[in-house]
Amino acid sequence: MSTKKDKFSFKDKFYMELALDLAKAREGLTGQNPSVGCVIVKKDEIISIGQTSFNGRPHAETNAIKNTTEDLKGSKMYVTLEPCSHHGVTPPCTSSIIKSKISEVIYSVIDVDKRVKDKTFKILETRNINVKKGVLKDKVNHFYLPYFFNRKNKLPYVSGKLAVAKNHIIFSKNKRKITNSRSDKFTHFLRYKNDSILISYKTLNKDNPKLNCRLKNMEKFSPKRIILDNKLRTNTNSYLFKTANKDNTIIFYNEADKSKILEFKKRKIEIIKSKIDTKKRFDLKVILKRLYKLGCRNILVEGGNELTKDFLNKKIFNLFYLFQSPKKLSKLTEFKEFNGFNIIKRNYKNKVKINSNLEKDTITLYKK
């Protein structure tokens, strides 16, 4: 029985692994562009590396070329995604590659962007640059699932997160804290990895959250705040309102007094009028399409019972993180219970415990 010989060497795979690690380090931080990693090798030595810049530009290939003063003639470039070949806000990476005299380009997966898709190979080969593609294809394809989803559907990639006590309580007036400090850090990591975070005004008014990333030295990567508030009932004394501006906060509403609209506009908050259904709920698909046009690519939803169930029922979550605490919270005062477990089981067949027995908290990731 014969097997097909792998056309990629151990070294090819090793350098592509490094490029993928570079891409992963910038995941969620590159704006509307995908996070790409790049490694340049000459005589089996790494002479430069590059990543997609924060907010998306310059691209990884351009950064890698600029990050070295070495003569690149005779070198190889390993890059996770097909280099761009079109003129956009910046010149195409293929132009930089050709100008640099790099001898060989090895990329993992073909870009799904129609302006780029499968065009780079021919452009580089006509300039006598050796080109190979497909190394670590499966692994890199998995990394780019959110990006491919963005491009294909013109929608953000949506993750949900909910914390519940042992008795399914998600809010208790006597004790609001549900999960432990380690679980909290994971929550802040999710905020760091998503460019936007979405809640309802009810959660805002009840919890007065900050919705920022509080990991050390990562505060500047806090996500944009998105609030669903059909009548602009957001508490104007809340932290989010007081720290809001046109760059960090978007509020969707349906109807409100002119005086209320003016009050929000004075804060320079971006408020967007959107339709609601007969149950007084926003059309989430319409909201997400608008957010995509506004540049949101990865959204974390930290909703309460109703908003989370709405996303679950409509099968919008690409990923759903369920934090479960061994603690029971009081039902003697005002409380809120989550009753959407059956929806999770029905809609999400794939699950994995990414943290179990973490100071007794359990975090389960559900995927489509």
Active site residues: 61
- CB 305, CB 338: distance < 8 Å: yes
| Residues in a beta bridge with 196 | 224, 299
**Largest Cα–Cα distance in the chain?**
78
- Residue partners of 3: CB distance under 8 A and separation at least 6: none
Tokens of 142: 């998995």
DSSP H/E element including 142: helix 137-143
DSSP tag of 26: T
Tell me phi and psi for residue 337, to 5 degrees.
Answer: -115, 140
- Residue partners of 324: CB distance under 8 A and separation at least 6: 163, 164, 166, 361, 362, 363, 364
Amino acid at 292: Y
Q: CA–CA separation, 132 vs 245, rounded Å?
A: 47
Give 49-104 as a DSSP string: EEEPPGGG-S-HHHHHHHT--S--BT-EEEEEEPPP-S-SSS--HHHHHHHHTB-E
Q: Which residue has the tokens 């509403």?
A: 253
DSSP H/E element including 249: strand 249-253
Give 162-222 as a DSSP string: EEE-TTSEEEESS----S-HHHHHHHHHHHHH-SEEEEEHHHHHHH-------STT-GGGP
- Residue partners of 226: CB distance under 8 A and separation at least 6: 196, 197, 198, 199, 249, 250, 251, 252, 291, 296, 299
Secondary structure (3-state) at 233: coil
Secondary structure (3-state) at 349: coil
Tokens of 129: 């640059």
